[in-house]
Chain A
Amino acid sequence: MLARVRQIIRGTYERLLESELSDPPAHVAVIQDGNRRYASKRGGEPTDGHRAGAETTEQLLEWSDELGIEEVTLYAFSTENFARPDGEREELFDLISKKLREFADADRVHRSGVHIRALGDIDRLPERVTEAVDYAESRTADYDSLYLNVALAYGGRAELLGAARDVARRVAAGDIEPGDVAVSTIESELYDGPTRDVDLIIRTGGDKRTSNFLPWQANGNEAAVYFCTPYWPEFRRIDFLRGIRTYQNREQSWRQTRARRARALVTALGTSTVPDARRTLDRLRSALPSSERTVEGNGVAESEPEMSD
């Protein structure tokens, strides 16, 4: 009885949360932590935890599709995970291969148009995994409604080092000049995979760090982070909705914060010293309460026309 009541309450709260959600993040990256701790809490083996976690992963795809998220990146196997005990590692590879094939065959994946891609040093993985990757990628290659990037043998530093090596090779081949190496050059040499910067990183399991996951795409984009305590197999739809809502609140306050920063700069230094700040302020002024919309002291009226954009 009590469980039933709880379920009704949760359902109502979930609907309320959902009704408040608009403009979801385009790209969500997930660090699915806590499978092993979940299993050990229940007296099971690490592999039991990974299996339970895989079910949550399937649900996550469904939730993302429902909410109109365009890209999801999962941290399935990190470069650090190669250090796991042999037995656990091999079972993880079995599970990943099996799940990739299941996803590639699932009706839901084809109905929703999910495009599956692997992200990482795939060559370091055993053949059964790379074959499953090829299978999943080729079966879903034509879809573009939802991109699912599965990070396998992935490490952020390995990705950055690989990009640096590729740039170095192009220089050695006389393809580009050292002086032309810029942020965009690095960007073009990252793994094929994420097509968008990361908007939101979710990490389950209570830790507050990003563990070598997507430094360029997430840190570089100042992604919002949502750290939560449930272990990955315990992560429910309502936790996901909370994460999304957190992102949206941050987006809103981010605009306001930027507008305030711009206003503080213009007030302290004047428009001629900080023209970019002036433009930012003009663009984001609507995010400020009306009492903060004018700038005093510099003789700059709110209605001054902005010609330089």
Chain B
Amino acid sequence: MGLYDQYLAMRIRVVDTAPPETVALVLTERDLLEDGAYETMAQFLGWTFAFGADQVVVYVSVLDEGVIPTLRRELKSMESSQRIAVRTPDDEARADAPVQVSIGLGGKHEFATAVQGIAREVEAGALEPDALTGDDIERRLVFPSAPDLVVKTGAERLSDFMIWQSVYSELHFTDVNWRNFRRRDYLRALRDFQERQRRFGE
């Protein structure tokens, strides 16, 4: 580890701003088709937990659902010291693990599925439409946590991921190729996060 990395890590540890507890990472399937992609992923997960995160959510956007089985297999065989829950567009079950991965399960779709669940309870008479609250929605989302920090590779675009959960998230864009993403790149994202004042629109 270089001096600069050590310096960055030290800066992050001495600042009294809390580190992000929930970190989201947004990638594309192409990032994961390249050599070394899963090694970078395993390292990334290690860095996030080492720097105070207790939850990591990864979104892999896919151009073609045909790639999902391949990605799922690779992710399952990846070495990780944390439990990983993988969800795809057909899944409705809530993800419950320190590392949660969505392969192609986008935010609009996730939200619509949650409302479908609500609709079933309304039909069964178990829920009154007027009494519906944000909690009723959050209970039915596949990915329950709101990310404090979203790290996205590639262009500065928003992504169709956790659209309800990420409305207040700090966004960090990096143009580093995923397979070249290093510890220092994550440290930069953390420093960036700490330097911003979180005001929640007040």
> Which residue numbers of A lie inside 8 Å of B, CB to CB?
78, 80-81, 83-84, 156-157, 160-161, 163-165, 167-169, 171-172, 176, 178-179, 181-183, 185-186, 201, 207-213, 215-216, 218-227, 246, 250, 253-254, 257-258, 260-262, 264-265, 268-269, 273-277, 280
Contact = CB atoms under 8 A, between A and B. Distances in A.
Contact of A171 (B29, B70, B119, B161): B119
Interface in B30-44: 30, 33-34
Nearest to A173: B129
Contact of B64 (A84, A156, A277): A277
Contacts of B156: 224-227, 246, 250
B119 A201 contact: no
A181 B65 contact: no
Contacts of A78: 201
Contacts, number: 184
Interface of B: 28-30, 33-34, 63-67, 70, 106-109, 111-112, 114-116, 118-120, 122-123, 127, 129-130, 132-134, 136-137, 154-161, 163-164, 166-172, 196, 199-202
B66 A275 contact: yes
A265 B31 CA distance: 11
Contacts of B168: 209, 211-212
A165 B130 contact: yes
A182 B155 contact: no
B63 A276 contact: yes
B119 A219 contact: no
Given A167-B119, A168-B118, A276-B63, A208 B170 contact: yes
Contacts of A253: 155
